[in-house]
Amino acid sequence: MQATLTALVAKAQTDLAALPNRPEFEAAKARLVGPNGELTALMKQMGTVPKEQRPAMGKLINETKARIQDLLDAALRRIEAGELQAQLGPAVDPTLPAPGGGPGTYHPLTLVREEMCRILRKVGFTVADGPEVETEYYCFDALNTPADHPARDTQDTFYFPDTAHFGNVSRKTPGEKYLLRTHTSSVQIRTMLKGAPPIRIVSPGRTYRRDTTDATHSANFHQLECLYVDKNVTVRDLKALLDYIFASLLGPDTKTRFRPHYFGYTEPSFEVDLSARHLPKVKKEWIEIGGCGMVDPQVFAGVGYDPEIWSGYAFGMGLERLAMLLYGIDDIRYFYQNDLRFLQQFA
């Protein structure tokens, strides 16, 4: 009996190790430990074993059973491992490129706009939006632009024919002329008319001037403007905002300075210069980056805010100009050509 058991184990060892797949394994398992299996048959012979030999024989049978089970487990593990291995193809070459055009990219104007909006959101400015088709009132009158100001000329501003109607662009007076906004300041007016102070908005958006397209001019371009209205707002607050914006954007070594200037809707008004020598292609010590000032009392009066109570500041700049400065781009037309070799540089 003992010899039979030993032979059984030895045979199982050889046979199981050679099994190629699961069906053959199942068949082999049945041949060994199934109801009609060889080991099962031997165990059934226990009754014929003399009583005094039974403990030893029982032990032997159990050991054999355990041994066979181990062999079965090992064989199953081997087959399973083989099955998983079969699911894999040959080893990959990790240096081959992934097919498809990915990854997607954000346009550099979006990247710069969103960065500015994030910086401004940290100090309480949320993004406002308004129509690109505007009327003379929102684009000029409300911003203190004299009726015969050159900016209103058909030479400089795109107008629509008197027959054109825009169903969702409100006019202050019936028959007012529609035009394409020349700046995003019209959003400030609409926001002030819609709500009550205090106000803190940033309005990025597309603007239009009747201009020849060249390396630095474009018929449409993008601006970003901030408006802050509250009580006791000062020139110093305005300077603090500009310092904060550009230090956040360009690093703590960045300096800003104000130069007195003139805009119809702010008083006093300033142009903002930036000193950021670390930027690419910046050769001058100071570069002009935008305009700002304290909201003119006249503008407040026009939107029904009492200028004795409310004060505020506004700041505006060109997004293309900022992006050109940040990335060292020297031709504004690249933003509108969308050559993939351009777009893929900024992601």
Closer residue to another protein (CB): 133 or 249: 133
Nearest to 159 by CA among 174, 139, 142: 139
* Adjacent-strand bridge partners of 207: 221
88 binds another protein (CB under 8 A): no
**Does residue number 55 form part of the binding site for another protein (CB under 8 A)?**
no
Q: Which of 13, 193, 237, 287 binds another protein (CB under 8 A)?
A: 237
From 26, 70, 80, 129, residue interacting with another protein (rule: CB under 8 A):
129
Of the residues 9, 127, 193, 279, which one makes contact with another protein according to CB under 8 A? 127
Q: Quick count: other Cβ atoms within 10 Å of Cβ 28? A: 20
Mark the segment that binds another protein (CB under 8 A) among 29-37, 39-47, 137-145, 161-169.
Answer: 161-169
Query: Which residue, 36 or 154, has its beta carbon nearer to another protein?
Result: 154
The answer to the question of residue 50 lying near another protein (CB under 8 A) is no
Helices 108-122, 319-327: inter-axial angle, 10-degree rounding: 100
Instruction: Give least dist CB 91 to another protein, A.
Output: 15
Hey, CA dihedral for 189, 195, 199, 203, is it positive or negative?
A: negative
Residues 6+ apart with CB under 8 A from 38: 8, 31, 32
Instruction: Determine, following the binding rule CB under 8 A, whether residue 78 of this chain makes contact with another protein.
Output: no
42 is a contact residue toward another protein (CB under 8 A): no
What's phi and psi for 87, nearest 5 deg? -70, -25
Residue closer to another protein by CB (options 78, 261) is 261
Residue 114 exposure: Cα atoms within 13 Å on the Cβ side? 6
- Is 124 one of the binding residues for another protein (CB under 8 A)? yes
Length of the chain: 347
Which residues in 169-228 contact another protein (CB under 8 A)? 169, 180, 198-201, 206, 208, 210-212, 219-220
Q: How far apart are CA 87 and CA 93, in angstroms?
A: 17
Binding mask 296-335 for another protein (x = CB under 8 A): xx-------------x-----------------------x
278 or 336, CB closer to another protein? 336
SS3 for 139? Answer: helix
Matching residue, tokens 């080893």:
91
Q: Is the CB of 172 or the CB of 259 nearer to another protein? A: 259
Of residues 264-303, which lie at the interface with another protein (CB under 8 A)? Answer: 267-271, 294, 296-297
Tokens of residue 172, six digits: 């202050």
By three-state DSSP, how is residue 140 classified? coil
Residue 230 has, within 13 A of its CA and on its CB side, a CA count of: 12
- Angle (CA) 228-230-232 rounded to 5° is 115
Q: Does 261 bind another protein (CB under 8 A)?
A: yes
Residue 115 interacts with another protein (CB under 8 A)?
no
Q: Would you say 31 or 210 has its CB closer to another protein? A: 210
Stretch that binds another protein, among 8-16, 35-43, 136-144, 166-174 (CB under 8 A): 166-174
Asked if 123 touches another protein (CB under 8 A), the answer is yes
- The distance of closest approach from Cβ of residue 331 to another protein in the complex, given in angstroms and rounded to an integer, is 14
Identity of residue 319: L
Number of residues located near another protein, criterion CB under 8 A? 87
Binding test (CB under 8 A) with another protein, winner from 33, 60, 235, 282: 235
Tell which residue, 41, 109, 35, 33, has the closest CA to residue 68.
33
Residue closer to another protein by CB (options 19, 295) is 295
CA-CA-CA-CA dihedral for 157, 162, 168, 169, to nearest 10: 40
Q: What is the distance between the alpha carbons of residues 328 and 335, in angstroms, rounded to a whole number?
A: 13
Binding of another protein by 27 (CB under 8 A): no
